[in-house]
Structure 1
């Protein structure tokens, strides 16, 4: 996989994580990889691998998918949803992190 394809993979994973609101910071610590976040990531990576196979003709390795997922998580800009920003401007206490 060349650098351009890797960047596309990271950008695609970032869009999916943002779209579904998957946030590793809200997940409780897990030692057996059995949290909701872990399950969501497994489903996302499986679907991304199938989609990649349909489009490019090969499946990225699991190691590469994990690396891209980590890069996508670290490159996201977390911000509260629009309603939390709106309520904060009005002075309403909002406990969204």
Structure 2
């Protein structure tokens, strides 16, 4: 019997998937879920598992040369723990402050 992973939406057999809290995930998605998508934990995973996770989501990995590149892609596409969000929001607020400074003078 085939089961659909609730994360990547691909089909897996019961041996290759894990049932947890009424949600079924493939072994790869489950493995990454267990890291809570924290960079240090992701860096401890095997490269083949990171690659598999990205391939299951049809995310191209041909530009990745280092393990860190794969981890960055996982974090970018997962949307959590992304430092870019913090940087862009602080950049925008500093730009708006500087523009208001120039308009007041």
Query: Per the shorter chain, which TM-score range?
Result: under 0.3
Q: Which has the higher contact order (CA 8 A, sep 6+)?
A: 1
**Which one has the bigger strand percentage?**
2
Q: Which structure has the bigger radius of gyration?
A: 2
Length-normalised TM-score, structure 1? 0.27
More helix by share: 1
